[in-house]
């Protein structure tokens, strides 16, 4: 495969398709939690003491963690979080996370279904550090599909 390079993990975009489509509001510095695993259940077979059968039961998805520089004005994503935390108004969001190539074209995308804010935080304020204020958003979701 001449000219083929593995994709880089820093060129991606995150879209909240039913919350915000403002470009500045959907830029994130990192996304973690795109993984899936099986919960298992062990069954012991009568008369067989050498091992037990471990069978898959259901899939389990960890929280999705998004980090970005803190936006102080007009963030629809922040307003969506505030609706959940202050008014207990939960509107499930659909996220499209897309890995891009060097021409900004999609290589692969993950469609995250029915996400809602589980935790929101900002980094500590410290006059001794010269660092950005980072907003962290943890989302619980039902599942994702890979496109």
What are phi and psi for residue 80, nearest 5 degrees?
A: -60, -45
Residue predicted with more confidence, 62 or 101: 62
- For the segment 83-136, what is each residue's pLDDT rounded down to a tens digit? 999 999 999 999 999 999 888 899 999 999 999 999 999 999 989 988 899 999
pTM, two decimals, is: 0.85
**Which H, E and C letters describe 50-97, residue by residue?**
CCCEEEEEEEECCCEEEEEECCCCCCHHHHHHHHHHHHCCCCCEEEEE
Ranking 13-17, 20-24, 30-34, 60-64 by mean pLDDT, the lowest is 20-24
């Amino acid at each position: 495969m001449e000219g083929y390079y593995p994709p880089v993990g820093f060129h991606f975009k995150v879209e909240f398709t039913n919350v915000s489509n403002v470009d500045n509001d959907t830029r994130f510095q990192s996304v973690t939690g795109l993984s899936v695993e099986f919960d298992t259940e062990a069954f012991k077979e009568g008369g067989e003491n050498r091992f037990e059968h471990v069978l898959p039961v259901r899939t389990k998805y960890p929280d999705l963690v998004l980090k970005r520089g803190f936006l102080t004005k007009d963030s629809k994503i922040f307003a969506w979080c505030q609706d959940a935390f202050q008014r207990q108004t939960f509107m499930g969001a659909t996220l499209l996370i897309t890995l891009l190539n060097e021409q900004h074209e999609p290589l692969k995308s993950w469609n995250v279904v029915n996400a809602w804010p589980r935790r929101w935080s900002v980094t500590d304020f410290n006059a001794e550090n010269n660092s950005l204020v980072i907003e962290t958003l943890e989302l619980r979701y039902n599942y994702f599909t890979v496109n």
